[in-house]
Amino acid sequence: MALTTRDRTELRKELVGQGYSWEFIDEPHSKITLYRHVATMTPKGDIISPVGTAIKGLPSTPDYALSKAKLGMLPYPPSESCTCEWCAESRIEVKKDVVSSTDENNEPFATAECSDCSFKATAPTGTGASSRLRAHSKIHS
């Protein structure tokens, strides 16, 4: 199905809003690497794919890239300066709820406590702990 000018303009606006370049829709497309800006979790809160996981060899067509961007998979890795909605949300929660320390093997880990029950989410990073806490908090809704 061919894109109309209106469709291309709308698609381009959405992709630019997700961090893609303005020219992305007109560039030749091969395979790209996308990075998770939000962890994939089971309903119990176990992380399947943590934040920062690189997924290689994905199609880079504009419509596919946009569908993945809406799920938190973007063409650049997450960072402290990232302004996407998932990274911004995790920074707020990390500052409020997460305590970082080390375990018996001197490995760093972070813990976030639920304010509604005694659940403690732990992960190697503050972002991971806050992701687990967000998944857990859905059972209180």
End-to-end CA distance of the chain: 41
Question: In sequence order, what are the residues at sequence separation of 6 or more whose Cβ sits closer than 8 angstroms to the Cβ of residue 64?
Answer: 58
* pTM (2 d.p.): 0.52
> What pLDDT score does 54 carry?
94
What is the per-residue pLDDT across 118-136, written as a single tens digit (0 to 9) for each? 788 877 777 777 777 777 7
What is the per-residue pLDDT across 33-68, written as a single tens digit (0 to 9) for each? 999 998 888 877 788 889 999 999 998 788 888 889
- Residue 32 pLDDT class (50, 70, 90 cuts): confident
Query: DSSP code of 2?
Result: P
What is the per-residue pLDDT across 54-107, written as a single tens digit (0 to 9) for each? 999 998 788 888 889 888 999 899 888 888 887 877 664 433 445 556 656 666
What is the per-residue pLDDT across 10-26, written as a single tens digit (0 to 9) for each? 888 887 887 777 777 66
> What pLDDT score does 27 carry?
67
